[in-house]
């Protein structure tokens, strides 16, 4: 239960990586090509934190958690809004990937909000 600020990161859902891997393996014209599976823009840490809060709220509501300790945990999710992203600013494009993934492999990565919320729910369910 350590604490650290949520930082901005590029993100991809492992389910999308798996789908891209399978799609690439089924096509002869992808041999020797490399594909980047990722968001293109740096994600603000506040967006990630909101998704994790959403996961906690969904988990709490689904498990009827109303005790003070359970509700206090949500206040431990925080983000570093001072981090500007360094060489690539938050919100700026860091990598181009979406168009090539869609055109070559038919893959459209799911929204980061869904990925982060699903990840949070999966982690929380491990403690049930």
Check residue 84 and give its pLDDT: 85
For 16-72, the pLDDT digits (tens) are: 999 999 999 999 999 999 999 999 998 988 999 999 999 988 888 876 666 556 666
Rounded CA gap, 26 and 105, in Å? Answer: 9
Check residue 57 and give its pLDDT: 87
pTM equals: 0.80
Rounded CA gap, 68 and 70, in Å? Answer: 6
For 29-41, the pLDDT digits (tens) are: 999 999 999 999 9
């Amino acid at each position: 239960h350590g604490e650290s600020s949520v930082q901005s990161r590029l993100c991809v859902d492992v389910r999308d990586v798996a789908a891209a891997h399978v799609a690439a393996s089924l096509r002869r014209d992808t041999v020797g090509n490399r594909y980047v599976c990722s968001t293109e823009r740096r994600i603000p840490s506040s967006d990630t934190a909101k998704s994790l809060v959403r996961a906690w709220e969904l988990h709490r509501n689904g498990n009827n958690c109303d005790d003070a300790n359970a509700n206090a945990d949500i206040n431990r999710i925080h983000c570093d809004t001072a981090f500007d992203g360094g060489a690539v600013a938050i919100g700026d494009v860091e990598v181009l990937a979406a168009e090539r993934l869609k055109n070559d492999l038919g893959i459209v990565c799911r929204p980061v909000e869904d990925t982060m919320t699903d990840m949070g729910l999966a982690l929380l369910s491990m403690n049930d």
